[in-house]
Amino acid sequence: MATIRDVAKRAGVGIGTVSRVIASSGPVSADAASRVRRAIEELRFRPSHAARVLPKGQSQTIGVFVPLVHGAFYTPILHAIYTALREHGLHMVVDFGQTLETERQDALAGAEFLTDRGCDGLLIMATALKSADIEHIAQLQPKFVLLNRSVPHFRANCFSPDHQAAGAAAARALCAAGHRRIAVIEGPARSSDNRLRIRGFLAALEECGIDPDGVPREHGDFSPESGHAAAEALFARGRTFTALFCANDEMAIGALAAARHAGIAVPQDLSMMGYDGIDLAALTAPPLTTVLIPWRQIATHALQRLLNLCYGMNLPVASDVPAQVLNRESVARIA
Amino acid sequence: MATIRDVAKRAGVGIGTVSRVIASSGPVSADAASRVRRAIEELRFRPSHAARVLPKGQSQTIGVFVPLVHGAFYTPILHAIYTALREHGLHMVVDFGQTLETERQDALAGAEFLTDRGCDGLLIMATALKSADIEHIAQLQPKFVLLNRSVPHFRANCFSPDHQAAGAAAARALCAAGHRRIAVIEGPARSSDNRLRIRGFLAALEECGIDPDGVPREHGDFSPESGHAAAEALFARGRTFTALFCANDEMAIGALAAARHAGIAVPQDLSMMGYDGIDLAALTAPPLTTVLIPWRQIATHALQRLLNLCYGMNLPVASDVPAQVLNRESVARIA
DNA sequence: GATTTTGATGGAAACGGTTCCACTTTAGCC
DNA sequence: GGCTAAAGTGGAACCGTTTCCATCAAAATC
């Protein structure tokens, strides 16, 4: 591989001049510049990223951690981050979870990996992080933002939907449609975002005069398959409910399939509500009524805050984009 | 940030000793080693990746290019690559497309980016690459493999399902179920994998005595939304067909929704077949009959070939894992 | 015409690791 | 106890950039 010295020699100039041409900084005569450019081309010279980062101390790269690579939930979020980054001429390195025991360990390991890689800042999407973990990350790399997790001490770095309010909105919509006997498929007990939305959901149910303790509940892991299994478990207990709230759309898709398989018509026999508002939820049979969480916007704001932090930019940052129920066809009014 | 010299000073040893402790290579006395380890901890020392790569010339990192971050198709493939890499203690840097005009330009830019990042090897998933482009990549970074694209000159580096055979299998399955009037929703004309599977499909139809020119065809872009639109366009032309083949499952999901919306029962009024075998296809209504492409295995083999290339490993590499039709409930037998 | 300013330029030093060689100490052997 | 081999150690040189400073020529100023 050709180095900057090779280029300098070939162009008959010093390395300083070559560097100036590449960075187009500082004065260079037109003649020298063209000779350098020719030499670069002839030698197929490409500056080494590592050698460049070393003296500069900046890599123009943001590290992103995302808990898993599977399904359709994370990709639009990644896409939003990626395109926003590209608009600023910045790059992204992604790390994924699901290699260690817990999401928490994955996220911590991810933060370390991305920091070691010389990322200028970190965007971490992880719900299972404890306060102490976040302190740890802050020491590793003070320039970071959290997505889908909110802790008091780092409020300004946290960007999360208000899951409790969104969960409550789901419950109110179901009550308003006349449902009194409602079942729930939750996500993993570990994930704080799941806990919050279920808490909000049950609290709002209570406000509507429904006893939260009487609500049949099953756990899934947010995957469609787990939603399918959880719905079957629920049906096996005897169907005493007229509506089913799923803690995310992917589990709802699984639950929909389970209902179809069990001969339960949605929404005639059973209403179903999802959560997140993934694109696919518009194409289920029937189209899924869901709580639309503005993930793309939230992610974009988190990123913009991070860029302000890292590069002294002045991008607008909003931290509360409200969720709302998106009425489609999977919830029926009952008497 | 503490450097290796700070650690050496604090531990009262030379930098060579510190380096040996970190790499656990070469002889170090137990006493010195423990002092070094303590100093590392106290100073929170983390070796700089850039500084490490520079003299070594290896980054233990594989670059992966994937055309887009959206939907559910690419994530299982990325996941397979990612976990395989982690098993070998290696890392991954991903670059995505959809930022430039065409997928082809994206892939080329991605290859350059990943090379510049010091990746030891490249795994590129792109269907729109021309032979000359691949030559170009080979010059950039001779250690590369291609996924979902096959060119004669680099046969050993190419890992692609046999789309033509798989397309033919789909057609034969439909014919075997008694269908004679069949419509098709294709992917983009640009993508070679789409062209191959459609070519195989139509050729097999002809073998069954069906005139390929009489087959109604619409184009989509592989997204569910485009499948929906294409199906609507097809229905609008008048429904002269009893079966519909979609060039991927995601478009089939969209087409399924369009059929439901138009009051067309699947499979009673219309049979539908997808392609790829994504997980979600098992959960549609009705469950989707599809051509199962063993993407995870193909990706894994491509990666193993790449690792052999990059690190002199001796991993098994197979280049032909056959596709097969996965019968579910969206295709009906007709008289 | 002397003096200052500006434009171009080359290259040393620095970034933070790894590698390797020279050197000292200790152990092993007869 | 003398000799050799092995273990342990320190640090110079190097990787390929950027940054900065010294130098010099040409242009601008008085």
Q: Region B157-170: what's the mean pLDDT?
A: 97
Contacts 24+ apart (CB under 8 A), B296-302: B296/B76, B296/B77, B296/B80, B297/B321, B298/B147, B298/B159, B298/B160, B298/B161, B299/B77, B299/B80, B299/B81, B299/B123, B299/B147, B299/B159, B300/B80, B300/B81, B300/B84, B301/B159, B302/B123, B302/B145, B302/B146, B302/B147, B302/B159
Coarse DSSP helix, strand, coil percentages of chain B, rounded to the nearest 5 percent? 50, 15, 35
User: Are B209 and B216 spatial neighbours (Cβ–Cβ below 8 Å)?
Assistant: no
CA B77 to the chain's CA centroid: 5
Ordered strands of the B182-186 beta sheet? B217-219, B182-186, B243-246, B271-276, B289-292, B324-326
Rg (CA), chain B: 26
Task: Give, in Å, how far the C1' of C29 lies from the CA of B29.
Answer: 24
Q: Say what the pLDDT of residue B85 is.
A: 95
Q: What is the pLDDT of residues B137-160, one digit of tens each?
A: 999 999 999 999 999 999 999 999
Q: Specify the pairing of strand A289-292 against strand A324-326.
A: antiparallel
- Do residue B70 and residue A83 have CB atoms under 8 angstroms apart? no
Distances (CA, A) of A280 to A132, A285, A286, B288, B291: 37, 11, 12, 15, 21
Q: Say what the pLDDT of residue B239 is.
A: 85
Residue A193: its H or E element = helix A192-207
| Closest CB from A71, A99, A284 relative to B75 | A71
Q: Say what the pLDDT of residue B157 is.
A: 94
**A135 inside 8 A of chain B by CB:** no
Question: What percentage of residues in chain B have a pLDDT greater than 90?
Answer: 92
Q: Where are the beta strands (DSSP E) in chain B?
A: 61-66, 91-96, 121-125, 144-147, 158-159, 182-186, 217-219, 243-246, 271-276, 289-292, 324-326
Structure tokens at A185: 């498929």
Please give, chain by chain, protein residues whose CB is below 7 Å from any atom of strand C.
A 8, 12-17, 19-20, 26-29, 31-33, 54-55, 57; B 1-5, 15-16, 19-20, 22-23, 25, 45-48, 51-52, 54-56
User: Are B81 and B66 spatial neighbours (Cβ–Cβ below 8 Å)?
Assistant: no
- A240, exposed or middle or buried, with CB in 10 Å at 0-12, 13-18, 19+? exposed
Nearest residue (Cα to C1') for C16? B51
Q: Specify the pairing of strand B217-219 against strand B243-246.
A: unpaired
Q: What confidence tier does B71 reach under pLDDT thresholds 50, 70, 90? A: confident
Averaged confidence pLDDT in chain B: 95
- Do residue B115 and residue A46 have CB atoms under 8 angstroms apart? yes
**A42 inside 8 A of chain B by CB:** no
- Do residue A99 and residue B86 have CB atoms under 8 angstroms apart? yes
| CA distance linking residue B253 with residue B259, whole number of Å | 10
Q: What are phi and psi of A233, to 5 degrees?
A: -60, -45
| CA distance linking residue A273 with residue A173, whole number of Å | 9
Residue B59 has pLDDT above 90, yes or no: yes
Q: Say what the pLDDT of residue A100 is.
A: 82
**A53 inside 8 A of chain B by CB:** yes
Residue A93 CB in 7 A reach of strand D? no
Task: Give, in Å, how far the C1' of C24 lies from the CA of B17.
Answer: 15
Q: Say what the pLDDT of residue B313 is.
A: 93
Nearest nt by C1' to A17 Cα: C9
Interface probe, candidates B49, B58, B65, B283, chain A, greatest A C-beta count within 10 A:
B283
**3-class SS at B259?**
helix
Q: What confidence tier does B99 reach under pLDDT thresholds 50, 70, 90? A: confident
Q: What is the pTM of this model?
A: 0.94
Q: Say what the pLDDT of residue B273 is.
A: 98
**A3 inside 8 A of chain B by CB:** no
Q: Which residues of chain A have pLDDT under 50?
A: none
- A206, exposed or middle or buried, with CB in 10 Å at 0-12, 13-18, 19+? middle
| Closest CB from A75, A115, A118 relative to B50 | A118
Residues listed for chain A: 335
Structure tokens at A145: 């933002």
Task: Compare all CA atoms of chain B with the CA of A259 and give the residue at the minimum distance.
Answer: B285
| Closest CB from B50, B79, B228 relative to A70 | B79
Rounded-to-10 torsion of CA A236, A237, A241, A247: -80
